[in-house]
Chains A and B, each alone.
Chain A
Amino acid sequence: MERRKFIRNTLAGSALLVSNQFPLSAFANDPNIVKLTILHTNDVHSRIDPFPMDGGRNAGLGGAAKRAQMITDIRAKEKNVLLLDAGDIFQGTPYFNFFGGELEIKLMSKMGYDIATMGNHDFDAGIDGFNTQLPHANFPFVVSNYNFDDTILNGKIEKYKIFEMDGLKIGVVGTGIELKGLVPDTHYKATRYLDPITSAQHYATMLKKEMNCDYVICLSHLGYKYGREKVSDVILAQNTQDIDLIIGGHTHTFMREADRRRNKNGDPVIVTQAGWAGILLGHIDVYFERSKNKRCITCKNQLVG
């Protein structure tokens, strides 16, 4: 019941927040404003069906068929939509034990996912199990800090990806969590883990500075934040530049609102995550001012509070 109340409050809160901001309807017909809609999930964990109606706290929540309809409805309304997943697609219901992740990946393809990153549980059928399901994906996977050169995934996972729509150039990088100690080495085999901050920074800067991306998203499975030094989305946000948005996973974090931070240059960077199991669909609207001016005329401070 607590979770239900929280979700309801979250929704009410977000609605209020939006209504208090700049009158968005004013943008609707402004040819100089381009809107990008980013939808995201994380840690869906093979939750194909909604949670059973057994009185449990998540009863009736989630489910691929409902999510698909939500996505279709949003696509019908919005011109520029990106649909992303931040990893841990696999493991959690018998669907995975029975079909090895085939159904999860096929459904994501049908829903039109544009890109996903890999979570630690995506190695649960071994790197070979993941490789078996990969042909069912009509979208790419992106991880910048796993070196797959000596594995079966060599050449099959992207380091970064660029999406162009409506005159916008959007770059996506991925960051994965350290596998040692978390995933049996017999599962990840010769995959080499590289420092996520260094890797993400390298590709983010390349995307922003050399490839002239307007917006850079980091799809991360590092986890939102920890009580200790362990690298997280918040640490990544604060210690890098050229990343505008971090869409996270791993910690199954339900957020009341996005965590708006400053990066190491003092520029805004948003950290977000959408719980787990497909209970929520993260929805981000980014408004761009298209102009000949190097400075933005209508931009407001991105940081709240």
Chain B
Amino acid sequence: MFKNVIYAFVFVALFASCKTYNHIQQTDVVYENTEGKNYTEDASISEFIGPYRDEMNIEMGVVIGEMPETLRKSRPNSNMGNWFSDVLLSEAQRTSARAVDFAIQNYGGLRIPTVAKGPLKVGTIYELMPFDNLLVILDLNVNQVQMLLDKIADGGGWPISRNITFTIQNKKATNIKIKGEALGTKKMYRVAMPDYIANGGDNCDFLKPLPQDNSGKFIREVVIEHLRLLAEANKPITVDNSKRIN
């Protein structure tokens, strides 16, 4: 009898306690950073990273040139975009049997906001363009060039090489000049670009069916090769600051 009373008591207590509500009462949101807080590094994590960093730096820590000015990424124009797309054009021209008119690079493909003035490491080129994108050349007709440039205009402007300028009007490309001549002066244009775009990336589906003159080289390797050749010839890196998209 006494036992039953205890059971009953326990049962009631359990029943009463099982219905509990957790009401969201207040939410505070902050964004923390390590700057100025004298945060130490977690030693075990640093130690764990060490061997990976050492292995990587054998190749990535090598200085391959001297950047004459700090490169900054911005839309529609930037010295970073000019330099990068100019290198793509130079290398496409150097390695292709047929002339290349201009080069483009999708804006999202450049991954760091700045490249510092001064010694340039191989690793920085990897950070700038880390993707396994290949450099390809496409033969585009006038209509396809217009579509590609409209896509670039709609995206707020991507890096484009020397030899081409245009104006963005209502998210379309107008006043297009290629080697100083209006688009349509000739029928076909040879355009260097990452295979990511040629394969339809960034919604460039219209390029997908076109045959590719494929260098078979990753874009970052193309840029590194360009820098090596400059260094061997004792030539400086040059950066053009002209405004190509208006």
Contacts and interface: CB of A to CB of B under 8 A. Distances in A.
Contact of A18 (B28, B39, B52): B28
A33 interface: yes
A112 B65 CA distance: 40
Nearest to A46: B130
B111 A33 contact: no
Contact of A286 (B27, B112, B114): B27
Interface residues of A, number: 91
Contacts of B40: 66, 69
A285 interface: yes
B42 A68 contact: yes
B22 A279 contact: no
Contacts of B199: 184
- Which secondary structure characterizes the binding site on chain A? mixed
Nearest to B29: A258
A206 interface: no
Interface string A237-266: 000000011000000001101100000000
Interface of A: 4, 7-8, 10-11, 14-15, 17-18, 21-22, 24, 33-34, 45-46, 48-49, 52, 54-58, 60-70, 72, 91-99, 103, 106-107, 110-111, 124, 167-169, 181-182, 184, 214-215, 244-245, 254-255, 257-258, 270, 272, 274-275, 279-296, 298-300, 302
Interface of B: 16, 19-36, 39-46, 48-49, 52-53, 55-56, 59-60, 70, 111-118, 123, 126-127, 130-132, 196, 199-203, 205
Given A58-B113, A299-B26, 16 more contacts: A7-B35, A8-B36, A56-B116, A61-B34, A62-B34, A65-B45, A91-B111, A93-B123, A94-B59, A94-B127, A167-B22, A274-B31, A280-B31, A284-B27, A287-B24, A296-B21
